[in-house]
Amino acid sequence: MRALLQRVNHSQVQVNGQLIAAIDLGMLILLGIGQEDTPEKTTALAKKIAQLRIFEDVQGKMNLSLLDVRGAAIVVSQFTLYADTRKGNRPSFVSAAAPDFARSLVDKFTEELSGFGIPVQTGEFGAHMLVDLENDGPVTIWLEV
């Protein structure tokens, strides 16, 4: 399971010209599910993200978590995080999980993150989405469990 976290001042997701998710202060979480991932990994990743101290305190140090700042999250499923570009010029996605399995783990991850009291919105699984964000910092963190 791979997640690319972006600390944002605001973010939104559109599908077919319709706004489906929008937050202010928080995180945009691009989430990739691999073939070997398990429901237990969703729990560990959600806990790590909820408690990860990437927001600045009054001294400007990254000392506060998403919970501390009462931020929100948008979770966007992103199978392309499993791109393998070692051969040729076209990425291979053979390590990405099958759609039905991936959808179930994305849903579980979203539930787990919500369980920490974080307001969570989502993109639309499998849809072509337009994701807009203002990355604060910029702060972008790669996590893999």
Q: Where in the sequence numbering do the catalytic residues fall?
A: 78-80
- Neighbouring C-alpha atoms within 13 Å toward the C-beta of 2: 14
Q: Are 121 and 23 in contact (CB under 8 A)?
A: yes
Please state, in angstroms and rounded to a whole number, the distance separating the CA atoms of residues 27 and 139: 10
CA angle 25, 104, 22 (to 5 degrees): 20
Rg of the chain taking only CA atoms, in angstroms: 15
Say how many C-beta atoms besides its own lie within 10 A of residue 26's C-beta: 25
Task: Tokens 């976290």: give the residue.
Answer: 5
Residue 118, phi then psi, degrees to nearest 5: -90, 125
**DSSP 3-state of 5:** strand
